[in-house]
A and B are shown apart, each in its own frame.
Chain A
Amino acid sequence: MSFQDRIWLTTLVGIALVTLAFLHVIRQSGREEDPKTVQTRAYALRRWLFGGLIALGIVVTGASLWPFPIASQHGAPMAPQVVHVVGHQWAWQMDTTRVRAGIPVAFEVTSADVNHGFGIYDSTDRLLTQTQSMPGVTNRLVYTFEHPGKYRILCLEYCGLAHHAMIREIDVVDGTEEES
């Protein structure tokens, strides 16, 4: 199950819960009950809901921010492979398009003109990770390719007329193969 699948499932469950709450209330809306009773019950329930959401928030925040999901931007890149990327209207300039699998790659991404988005896609057109490509700023994206193969860079920030054509292929080769 890919990361996207898990996100999708979580979202569907969340939306389904909201929908069930609404359907429940709508089904009951034809009946009549003393507003005071309804309110007392609802407010008691709300405390639990609020507390539950806070607790959920704390757990999710902790789990999703530790370790911090963005590589350190200071100092020299800590990855064994470094690729310098410059976005241009409308092409990707990279000092190499060949990297090794299983070993972290630091992409140092900037732009020569406008904002671009540096998105790495696998051969099934699934987005693996991304960062922004900005003039005057270098963003460091550290990623480890799991499998050798053909990958593609797609532009993910609207940058003008040929935005959708800003595609470049990269080769990920077996990590042990190219030692020399």
Chain B
Amino acid sequence: MSILYPQNEMLESRERMVLNLYLVTSLVLFLVMMVLGLLMRLAQGAWMDMSPTLFYQVMTAHGAGMVGTAALASSAVMWFFLRKYVPLKTSIFLANYVLFMIGAVLLLVAIFIGKFAGAWTFLYPLPVQSLGVWSVGSAVLFMVGFLIIGVGFLLFYLDAMRGVIRVYGNLGRGLGLQWLFSGTVDPDHPKTVVASTMVIIVNSLGILGGAVVIVMSLINAYDPEIALNALFAKNLIYFFGHVFINITIYMAVIGVYELLPRYTGRRWGMSRPFLWAWAASTLMVMIVYPHHLLMDFAMPRWMAVTGQVISYTSGLPVFTVTAYGALTNIHRSRMRWRIPAMLLILSMFGWAAGIVPAIIDATISVNHVMHNTLWVPGHFHFYLLLGVLPMQFAFMYHLIGRDTDRSVSRSDRLGFWMYLSGGLAFVFMFLAGGHASVPRRWATHFPGWQVYDQVASLSAALVIVALSLFTVRICLGLMHTPSSAEPAPAGD
């Protein structure tokens, strides 16, 4: 039996405090954002009265809040495991949290006091052209909030970059590029370092793109004479947005690489295909974004083709390396069925299955009838709700567990199955809505569409109950810090 809680993962009290801040904040924010999501589905299903003004504010908050929170929780996973291999500064990890919270407050003020409802994508020029619904000032506040959050993540990535370079020499060696074509792959080169390096590279560039387009939008907000090229702004916004949300998966999957082998009791070794998969993903995550612009016919044809082809190929590493590797690791392993293990498998399933509707939608001819319908939230909720979040919950449940735990408690088991069934029903209602051509981001739905919204509301409620159970369990667990995570007596 492998060790679930190795010595080198112990936390000092200061580190534990900061990590707990991340985890508790994430859980609470997830709950709040899910309630906002539920409210939207209730309004669309005509089970609740909500003015369009409020609906679109709620929609903006839900989008920005979920993307931000997913990134926050995922970076906690990355930090926790990466610090075993490279030196990371707790102060920078804390700085990221503080900047995130400042940014989050600005976003909330912009939305609920400034009435900003330009969606989390702040697609130029909507933020500054609301026909008087919200002021330019609140759009500015919103974008400044994003900028501050971006700076926080940039600090975190720079710290991680420094750490990887200190230990491995440069980012290429962290990524294992030297073994792509020849040489003996170091079987002990950590998957965590490979994934983290990819995240560092890709999201630093994503944040750079965001910083360019946000500052340009700010200049335009104040001096409208300086008009931007809307198509170019759209490219940058989707590059930034796509990278930023995708990266939440690549940070959280580190938890799967680290934890799954402990629960199966089997090594999950480093291999050349694994390195190839991550090197390819590094590139593909950056160039796949044109699949958001397939309905912008003015885009060059080669970019649309790139968007479609890369969307398909970027699924291959997930299917044939990560998900397949996980399944191989589990197969006939006499798995230790604890709640983290269950969540890890769920997360792999959510990611792999969620990719199916995503790839199909990225086909240009399909995009003609699916783009900006509920199909789109359908596919990304699939791998966020059933992929990324379970990865994060698995990590949190693992943290509060202990070696001596033998079985899954009744409430956890109940929570798991509620989450799984509620989540599945919820995303399938989105996909079914897409199949029925229901447009995305509509405050009110035609009566014929409302049945999907109503079933979705019920399923969302189920997910929220499940998440509440998780939240209570995890928060209590974090407070009663388990002995296994106490600082080693002779450590330091």
Contact = CB atoms under 8 A, between A and B. Distances in A.
A–B interface present (Cβ within 8 A)? yes
Given A14-B356, A137-B230, A163-B443, A131 B295 contact: yes
Contacts of A132: 295-297
A15 B86 CA distance: 38
B365 A64 contact: yes
Interface stretch (B11-19, B369-377, B461-469): B369-377
B245 interface: no
A154 B123 CA distance: 19
B487 interface: no
Contacts of A64: 308, 363-366
Contacts of B131: 89, 160-161
Contacts of A71: 297
Nearest to B375: A7
A153 B353 CA distance: 33
Contacts of A127: 369-370, 373, 437
Contact of A114 (B129, B296, B368): B129
A146 B372 CA distance: 24
B439 A38 contact: no
Contact of B353 (A18, A43, A137, A163): A18
Nearest to B320: A50
B217 to A, nearest CB: 13
A69 B365 contact: yes
Interface in A100-154: 113-115, 117, 119, 121, 125-132, 134-141, 154
Chain A interface helix/strand/loop/mixed: mixed
A57 B312 contact: yes
Contacts of B352: 18, 22
Interface stretch (B98-106, B187-195, B328-336, B390-398): B328-336
Chain B interface helix/strand/loop/mixed: helix
B74 to A, nearest CB: 22
Contacts of B301: 68, 70
Interface residues of A, number: 75
Contacts of B178: none
A53 B320 contact: yes
A119 B372 CA distance: 10
Contacts of A128: 369
Contacts of B267: 35
A42 interface: yes
Interface string B335-372: 10000000001001100110011001001111011111
B8 to A, nearest CB: 24
Contact of B332 (A32, A65, A113): A32
Contact of A28 (B129, B308, B331, B444): B331
Nearest to B364: A69
A65 B308 contact: yes
A5 B363 CA distance: 16
B133 A26 contact: no
Interface in A149-180: 154-164
Contact of A156 (B123, B371, B443): B371
B17 to A, nearest CB: 37
Contact of B308 (A39, A61, A139, A157): A61
Nearest to B228: A136
Contacts of B312: 57, 60-61
Interface in B297-339: 297-298, 301, 304-305, 308-309, 312-313, 316, 319-320, 324, 327-328, 330-335
Interface of A: 3-5, 7-8, 10-11, 14-15, 18-19, 21-22, 25-26, 28-33, 35, 38-39, 42-43, 46, 49-50, 53-54, 57, 60-61, 64-65, 68-71, 73, 89, 113-115, 117, 119, 121, 125-132, 134-141, 154-164
16 contacts: A18-B352, A26-B330, A26-B345, A30-B335, A46-B324, A53-B320, A61-B308, A113-B129, A117-B439, A119-B372, A125-B437, A127-B369, A137-B298, A157-B372, A158-B56, A164-B442
Q: What are the 10 A-B residue pairs with the smallest beta carbon separation, nearest first?
A: A14-B356, A127-B437, A33-B332, A164-B442, A139-B297, A42-B328, A156-B372, A158-B441, A32-B334, A29-B335
Given A15-B357, A114-B126, 15 more contacts: A3-B369, A7-B360, A14-B353, A14-B357, A15-B353, A26-B345, A30-B334, A33-B331, A69-B365, A125-B436, A130-B371, A134-B234, A161-B53, A161-B131, A164-B444
